């Protein structure tokens, strides 16, 4: 230790406080520089990963003059990276132009700070408006493929409506005050891109666009709910069986099930899927093979033919009226009379504190059975009336929207690159 003191007197001596402070400060600065450098490098790598993978940067926008709000619902890119489809849905069509020819597009490059950069692609564009559904599709094509670059797309509408709150200005572009427009940011060349069936179809049509990016996602959700309804009916079926055993256990007769669900059962196929076997279609409901068909292939023509109807509007109106006029399960259950095994009538107790334990248990058993019936009926109603009806409505809407769509393309000067 004395040897070290002798060799480095400034490190221990009382006359070298400034030197020691300077050395400590220098070490602290070096450590801070290392930490800052590590943080900066980590952020750079994170930003590089985001730029390389993230496709959608804007999920919602507001038009500068009309204040109409649009949601960017999806951005799909073909597998070869040459075609990009942006799906937008307007929240309210009141102040939105429904003709595609009323729109112009302006495209440039951008960075993560939303600063202008040189455009690295030269796409052409088309705009589709699907009637008053609120859906708008912007289709971009670059035969050389989209590089990984954030694009800044300005959507301009010729709609002259001005919100009472005045225009929303843009710090970089004064035209936002004079024109109804908004900008969205996206990167069609990112690694995280996903395709859509229509983009892989050489003969892409307005219907294939609408079916791929609007109808198909909704159809998938309906199919999931149909399967969920079947599972709920299967569970209710087991509950009905258990409740019937309880009713018998307390020396009661099991009454006939309500006619809406009498004889119904859920069976499991060889492939593990569930199916409803029934001879009763609820009023306003449908019974068709939804699994082995699709909205695109069409269900409605066969369903209407089975009903011997040709007018679609009248058909849906008839079904709606049927559902509205149908008897309720609660009304049917309330009329059920309960009997003991010997034939004498049993009246379920509504006041547990005023009845014997045996009466309470028997009453609980009848209540369990009616609850199980109700659970089965509710799932069946959602299955036959709500969800199957939604599939048919989806088919009708898709056909109607694509029969009344408008489209404009680069030959009409819809896209300006800058």
Q: pLDDT tens for residues 195-241?
A: 999 999 989 999 999 999 999 999 999 999 999 999 999 999 999 99
Residue 415 inside a domain? The answer is no
Q: Residues 193, 230: one domain?
A: no
Total number of domains constituting the chain: 2
Containing structural domain, residue 365: 218-405
Side-chain half-sphere CA neighbours of 257 within 13 A: 20
Which of 4-18, 179-193, 304-318, 332-346 shows the lowest mean pLDDT across its residues?
4-18
Burial of 73 (0-12, 13-18, 19+ CB in 10 A): middle
> Among 179, 204, 229, which residue terminates a domain?
204
Predicted confidence band at 45 (pLDDT cuts at 50, 70, 90)? Answer: very low
Tell me the C-alpha distance between 125 and 105, whole Å.
8
Tell me the C-alpha distance between 233 and 227, whole Å.
10
Instruction: Indicate if the pLDDT at residue 25 is higher than 80.
Output: no
> Among 204, 227, 261, which residue terminates a domain?
204
Predicted confidence band at 317 (pLDDT cuts at 50, 70, 90)? Answer: very high
Which pLDDT score, from 0 to 100, does residue 112 have? 87
> Among 204, 227, 242, which residue terminates a domain?
204
390-400 mean pLDDT? 96
Which of 89-98, 105-114, 351-360 shows the lowest mean pLDDT across its residues?
351-360
Burial of 239 (0-12, 13-18, 19+ CB in 10 A): middle
Alpha-carbon Rg for the chain in angstroms: 34
Q: Residues 169, 267: one domain?
A: no
Which pLDDT score, from 0 to 100, does residue 359 have? 87
Which pLDDT score, from 0 to 100, does residue 352 have? 59
Q: Residues 342, 245: one domain?
A: yes
Q: Quick one: what percent of the chain has pLDDT higher than 70?
A: 88
137-155 mean pLDDT? 97
Which pLDDT score, from 0 to 100, does residue 42 have? 52
Residue 31 inside a domain? The answer is no
Residue 239 inside a domain? The answer is yes
Which pLDDT score, from 0 to 100, does residue 113 have? 87
Residue 411 inside a domain? The answer is no
Which of 32-36, 75-79, 104-108 shows the lowest mean pLDDT across its residues?
32-36
Which of 207-211, 271-275, 345-349, 387-391 shows the lowest mean pLDDT across its residues?
345-349
Residue 142 inside a domain? The answer is yes
Which pLDDT score, from 0 to 100, does residue 160 have? 84
296-312 mean pLDDT? 95
Which pLDDT score, from 0 to 100, does residue 7 have? 58
Q: Quick one: what percent of the chain has pLDDT higher than 90?
A: 80
Say which CATH number the domain at 130 has. 2.60.40
Task: Please state, rounded to an integer, the average pLDDT across all residues of the chain.
Answer: 90
Instruction: Indicate if the pLDDT at residue 296 is higher than 90.
Output: yes
174-195 mean pLDDT? 95
Residue 43 inside a domain? The answer is no
Residue 91 inside a domain? The answer is yes
264 and 240 in contact (C-beta within 8 Å)? Answer: no
Q: Residues 158, 284: one domain?
A: no
Q: Residues 189, 302: one domain?
A: no
Q: What is the token pair recorded at 11? A: 């490190």
Q: Residues 160, 280: one domain?
A: no
374-389 mean pLDDT? 98
Q: Residues 132, 157: one domain?
A: yes
Predicted confidence band at 358 (pLDDT cuts at 50, 70, 90)? Answer: confident
**HEC string for the chain:** CHHHHHHCHHHHCCCCHHHHHHHHHHHHHHHHHHHHHHHHHHHHHHHHHHHHHCCECCCEEECCCCCCEEEEEEEEECCCCCEEEEEEEECCCCCCCCCHHHEEEEEEEECCCCCEECCCCCCEEEEEEECCCCEEEEEEECCCCCCCCEEEEEEEECCCCCCCCCCCCCCCCCHHHHCEEEEEEECCCCCCCECCHHHHCCCCCHHHHHHHHHHHHHHHHHHHHHHHHHHHHHHHHHHHHHHHHHHHHCCECCCCCCCCCCCCEEEECCCCCEEEECCCCCCCCCCCCCCCCCCCCCCHHHHHHHCCCCCHHHHHHHHHHHHHHCCCHHHHHHCCCEEECCCCEECCCCCHHHCCHHHHHHHHHHHHHHHHHHHHHHHHHHHHHHHHHHHHHHHHHHHHHHHCEEEEEHHHCCEEEC
Task: Give which of 179, 111, 202 is closest to 151, Cα–Cα.
Answer: 111
Residue 286 inside a domain? The answer is yes
Predicted confidence band at 32 (pLDDT cuts at 50, 70, 90)? Answer: confident
Q: Residues 327, 197: one domain?
A: no
Q: Residues 138, 230: one domain?
A: no
Instruction: Indicate if the pLDDT at residue 15 is higher than 70.
Output: no
Q: Residues 223, 193: one domain?
A: no
Q: What is the token pair recorded at 39? A: 């943080």
Predicted confidence band at 350 (pLDDT cuts at 50, 70, 90)? Answer: confident
Q: Residues 285, 200: one domain?
A: no
Between 187 and 159, residue with greater pLDDT: 187
Q: What is the token pair recorded at 65? A: 């003059």
Which pLDDT score, from 0 to 100, does residue 37 have? 60
Predicted confidence band at 353 (pLDDT cuts at 50, 70, 90)? Answer: low
Tell me the C-alpha distance between 129 and 100, whole Å.
5
Predicted confidence band at 356 (pLDDT cuts at 50, 70, 90)? Answer: confident
Q: Residues 282, 399: one domain?
A: yes
Instruction: Indicate if the pLDDT at residue 40 is higher than 70.
Output: no
Between 292 and 4, residue with greater pLDDT: 292
């Amino acid at each position: 230790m004395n040897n070290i003191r002798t060799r480095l007197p400034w490190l221990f001596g009382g006359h070298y406080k400034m030197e020691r402070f300077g050395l400590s400060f220098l070490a602290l600065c070096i450590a801070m520089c290392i930490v800052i450098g590590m943080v900066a490098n980590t952020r750079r790598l994170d930003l590089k990963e985001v730029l390389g993978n993230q496709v959608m940067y804007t999920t919602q926008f507001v038009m500068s003059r009309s204040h109409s709000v649009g949601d960017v619902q999806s951005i799909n890119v073909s597998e070869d990276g040459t075609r990009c489809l942006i799906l937008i849905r307007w929240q309210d069509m009141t102040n939105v132009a429904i003709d595609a020819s009323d729109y112009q597009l302006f495209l440039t490059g951008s960075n993560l700070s939303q600063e202008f950069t040189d455009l690295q692609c030269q796409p052409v564009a088309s705009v589709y408006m699907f009637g008053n559904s609120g859906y708008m599709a912007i289709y971009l094509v670059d035969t050389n493929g989209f590089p990984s670059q954030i694009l800044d797309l300005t959507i301009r509408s010729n709609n002259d409506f001005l919100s009472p709150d005045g225009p929303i200005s843009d710090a970089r572009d004064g035209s936002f005050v004079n024109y109804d427009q908004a900008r969205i940011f996206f990167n069609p060349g990112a690694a995280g891109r996903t395709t859509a069936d229509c983009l892989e179809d050489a003969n892409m049509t307005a219907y294939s666009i609408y079916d791929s990016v609007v109808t198909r996602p909704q159809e998938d959700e309906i199919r999931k709910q149909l399967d969920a309804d079947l599972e709920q009916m299967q569970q209710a079926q087991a509950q009905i069986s258990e409740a019937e055993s309880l009713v018998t256990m307390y020396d009661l007769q099991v009454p006939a099930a309500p006619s809406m669900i009498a004889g119904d059962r859920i069976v499991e196929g060889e492939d593990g899927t569930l199916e409803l076997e029934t001879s009763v279609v609820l009023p306003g409901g449908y019974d068709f093979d939804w699994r082995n068909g699709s909205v695109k292939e069409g269900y409605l023509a066969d369903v209407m033919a089975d009903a011997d109807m040709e007018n679609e509007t009248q058909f849906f109106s008839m079904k709606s009226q049927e559902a509205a006029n149908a008897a309720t399960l609660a009304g049917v259950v309330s009329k059920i009379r309960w009997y003991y095994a010997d034939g004498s009538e049993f009246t379920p107790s509504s006041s547990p504190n005023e009845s014997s334990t045996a009466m309470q248990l028997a009453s609980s058993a009848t209540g369990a059975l009616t609850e199980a019936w109700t659970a089965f009926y509710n799932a069946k109603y959602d299955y036959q009336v709500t969800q199957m009806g939604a599939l048919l409505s989806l088919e009708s809407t898709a056909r109607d929207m694509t029969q009344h769509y408008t489209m404009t393309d680069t030959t009409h000067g819809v896209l300006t690159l800058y």
